[in-house]
Structure 1
Amino acid sequence: MIIRFTSKNLTILASALLMASAGQTLGASPAAADECPTATDRWEAVDLGVTGGALDINDLGQIAGFSRSETRETRAIVWDDGETIDVGTLGGPRGDASGIDEEGHVVGSSYTESEKGHAFLWREGTMQDLGNFGGLAFPRDVSQGAIVGEYSTFLPGHIRVRQAFVIRNGVKTDLDLVAGSEATGINTAGQIAGTHRRTERAGLPANQLTQRAFLWENGTVTELGTLGGIWSEANGLNNQGQVVGQSALDADGVLQAGFVWNPETGMRRLEDGGGVARPKAINDGDVIVGTHTCDTASGTARAAVWTDPSQAPALLPDPAGGTATAANAINVHGEIAGNAMYPEGQQHAVLWRPVAGD
């Protein structure tokens, strides 16, 4: 079981501490903390016309994600050259597509008629059930047909344990890590980024179950460190081996910031302008996308883009009628996949595309 100190379980604590510190604890001046990043006009937002979300995009502009019906059932979706392709499910009521590579391999998780948490591989209209590995399987990314993710099993006492895996040529292999790991990205060189717990669970208090972002290559695991706190997690990886994610800033693990890591410079903090940066992906041009929360009192996040990690992000424009946006993936052309919330409470899939001439 990985202890995830991220937005969902730390919003209240982080908001209170950030407001009390007036930005100084996060290394920002009071003036910077009082100002939110400005919206950029270098991208335009396009509502993809589906209630759901866009989770990944390849360099061909093909997008993987999901649709959600009025009865809350979900189906895996691919958008390709203006066409919406219903990938579907493995027979059950829920499914989503979380990754797509340049060859059009699509991976995700789906219910079957009798079980949940089955991994699938879809290509050219054919969906293959990869199983649930004795628990619940969650593929996260795919590159040249190689799939990474994690599966969960349950110990007595309802203790959930995650294990990172890679599937190559139809063969699943668990990554050689302490039990309690997940893999979130794989690149064309076969490098894998993810997060793992550093110690076994037995007998340790919760604050010692620390986790670290890692980069796996040819069986060797490199821990990426932290920004001074007790945990870090990896969210995205590009083909140059650069990793983006989040890290704690203090011993309590509450205050957090975004980072970018590469082998030459190690882990660097993303400039956040006094807010909270949550990077999700980095493309091969070193452009980073994710979310930025400036109004820590409300906790409302906005989709954001960093064209330089040493400069504050720019906010991506809201689609017409939409707000509370999130950017989940970016391709080499600067096309960004994500989602936005609308007043009626529905989430829509969104594409941000560079404005012609930029």
Structure 2
Amino acid sequence: MRHFSLPYDLQDQGKKHGTIVINQSINQSINQSINQSINQSINQSKLILALLLSLPALNAQAEVRYSITDLGTLDGLSSSAKAINDLGQIVGTVDTISGARNAFIYSNGQLTELGQFGGIDISPSKINNSGQITGYVFDSIDIVHGFLYTNGQSVDIGVSGQSVFANGINNHGQVVGTDLTTVDGFLYANGVFVNTGINTNAGFFDINDNGQITGYMKFANGEYHAFSYANGQTVDLGTLGGTGSNGRDINNVGQIVGDFYWYGDDFNFVHRAFLWDNGVMTGLGTLGGDFSNASAINDNGEVVGYSGISNGDPHAFFYSNGVMTDLNTLIAFDSGWVLRFANGINNSGQIVGSGINPEGFSRAFLLTPVAAVPVPGGFLLMGTGLLGLFGVKRNTRKLV
């Protein structure tokens, strides 16, 4: 302890009592200063700790990769988006109050009803970059008619009395599909049907700009397998040990996605998503449930579809670089949405599908990639630096 010299008059008095009182006063002042310093350091440390604890929440927000748009229903009950082209045009369906199902196109922020093309139930399948739409419509006696919609006009694709599903279209306007009456796949181009040589016992789902076709066909072992067809050559994609498979979508690189399947314990088919690339079929797994299905792939190799989660509900997924991610984890956590099915993805990474909106209704959605908002690296360093600084000050004051 530091020594203090007393004033002359107190020394002259020679009173011990005065010295004791002064010493007590000095000690009390020092203790109060130390306590105040400690309390200030504690409060400042609590503040910094709270700041640091808030960083995980900021990091979680930085993981938001998509904004979400509810496409609406045009006063219908529900809606679902089926496909999107590279211009951001979307096709899908609206379920009306009367029970009918109408087609829509979404373009430049506007949802426009296309009607039913003379039927009572319609399902558009794909839209190309010219805005041509293909799909199928049920008539009043449950015959299915494939259609090609161009510039406001719909053309019936098919044979009278036969059920024809038009499933895919490329940017050249070539359409592929399935005649369920004869169980044949078909290619429709320039107003006529083209014999591919593999039409029998097959179903065609998609065609890319190079004319490559995928779908399913019956092979020599009697099983229906996913295939790739180009320039007269057919490739069996396999089944990954299952009893069958379907090729659902093909990009311009020749990558194919779809599902393989087998009989489950309840004798129902169990489906799992796959990606076929350069002769190799890879199972994509699930989001913790029993099933998954890949619906679409863009030219960047990004895949979307849906998968069961642990409780059995379907959730939309995004797959890239070997990782399947629940799309619900890539939107704002407080959006109120549950994304159920992802049906299409374009080359800009926009995704369409259907889910449950914040009001509890089934709605078509559009996901648009957004730039991540990174947490500045200096922010964490600032927090830890300040905490260390307060520690230094506290240790310095202990020496008083």
- Please say whether Structure 1 and Structure 2 have the same fold, judged by a TM-score greater than 0.5: yes
Alignment match, 2:282: 268
- Write out per-residue CA displacement over residues 52-71 of structure 1, whole angstroms, 9 at most, x where no aligned residue: 21111100000111111012
Mapped pair 1:353 → 2:376: no
Determine if contact 2:65/2:372 at 8 Å carries over to the other structure. Answer: no
Change (3 A) 1:173 1:115: farther
Cα drift, residue 113 of structure 1? 6.4
Determine if contact 2:257/2:275 at 8 Å carries over to the other structure. Answer: yes
Mapped pair 1:168 → 2:189: yes
Cα drift, residue 165 of structure 1? 0.7
Alignment match, 1:323: 338
TM-score by length of 1: 0.76
Change (3 A) 1:197 1:80: same
**Cα distance in structure 2, aligned partners of 1:322 and 1:251:** 31
Change (3 A) 1:229 1:321: same
Where 2:348 maps in the other structure, the secondary structure is: coil
Alignment match, 1:152: 180
Q: How many residues align?
A: 302
Cα drift, residue 251 of structure 1? 10
Determine if contact 2:298/2:347 at 8 Å carries over to the other structure. Answer: yes
**Cα distance in structure 2, aligned partners of 1:241 and 1:184:** 14
Change (3 A) 1:251 1:325: closer
* Aligned ranges 1:69-88 → 2 under 5 Å: 69-88=96-115
**Cα distance in structure 2, aligned partners of 1:111 and 1:273:** 34
Mapped pair 1:49 → 2:76: no
Give the root-mean-square deviation of aligned CA atoms.
Answer: 2.9
Where 1:91 maps in the other structure, the secondary structure is: coil
Change (3 A) 1:320 1:42: closer
TM-score by length of 2: 0.68
**Cα distance in structure 1, aligned partners of 2:272 and 2:156:** 38
**Cα distance in structure 1, aligned partners of 2:334 and 2:211:** 36
Mapped pair 1:109 → 2:136: yes
Change (3 A) 1:48 1:166: same
Determine if contact 2:315/2:326 at 8 Å carries over to the other structure. Answer: no
**Cα distance in structure 2, aligned partners of 1:175 and 1:319:** 50
**Cα distance in structure 1, aligned partners of 2:134 and 2:271:** 30
Alignment match, 1:34: none
* Aligned ranges 1:21-40 → 2 under 5 Å: none
Q: Which of the numbers 249, 259, 266 marks the counterpart of 2:274?
A: 259
Determine if contact 2:338/2:356 at 8 Å carries over to the other structure. Answer: yes
Gaps of 5+ in 2: 1-59, 374-400
Determine if contact 2:186/2:195 at 8 Å carries over to the other structure. Answer: yes
* Aligned ranges 1:1-358 → 2 under 5 Å: 41-50=64-73, 51-112=78-139, 116-132=143-159, 134-143=161-170, 144-153=172-181, 161-177=182-198, 179-198=200-219, 209-248=222-261, 256-263=271-278, 265-272=279-286, 274-275=288-289, 276-295=291-310, 298-308=311-321, 310-316=322-328, 317=331, 320-323=335-338, 325-341=340-356, 346-356=361-371
> Which amino acid is the alignment partner of residue 362 of structure 2?
Q
**Cα distance in structure 1, aligned partners of 2:212 and 2:271:** 26
Gaps of 5+ in 1: 1-37, 154-160, 200-207
Determine if contact 1:292/1:301 at 8 Å carries over to the other structure. Answer: yes
Determine if contact 1:230/1:248 at 8 Å carries over to the other structure. Answer: yes
- Write out per-residue CA displacement over residues 77-116 of structure 1, whole angstroms, 9 at most, x where no aligned residue: 1111112222212223222221100111111112456763
Change (3 A) 1:319 1:341: farther
**Cα distance in structure 1, aligned partners of 2:247 and 2:134:** 19
Determine if contact 2:335/2:358 at 8 Å carries over to the other structure. Answer: no
- Write out per-residue CA displacement over residues 229-283 of structure 1, whole angstroms, 9 at most, x where no aligned residue: 22111111111000011224789995543211122x4112224465433211110
Alignment match, 2:391: none
Determine if contact 1:224/1:267 at 8 Å carries over to the other structure. Answer: yes
Change (3 A) 1:262 1:314: same
The structure with the greater share of residues assigned to helix is: 2
Question: Which of these two proteins has the greater Rg computed from alpha carbons?
Answer: 2
**Cα distance in structure 2, aligned partners of 1:251 and 1:67:** 33
Identity across the alignment (%): 31
Where 1:333 maps in the other structure, the secondary structure is: coil
Determine if contact 1:290/1:327 at 8 Å carries over to the other structure. Answer: yes
The structure with the greater share of residues assigned to strand is: 1
Alignment match, 1:202: none
**Cα distance in structure 2, aligned partners of 1:319 and 1:117:** 42
Alignment match, 2:398: none
Higher RCO by CA contacts (8 Å cutoff, separation 6 or greater): 1
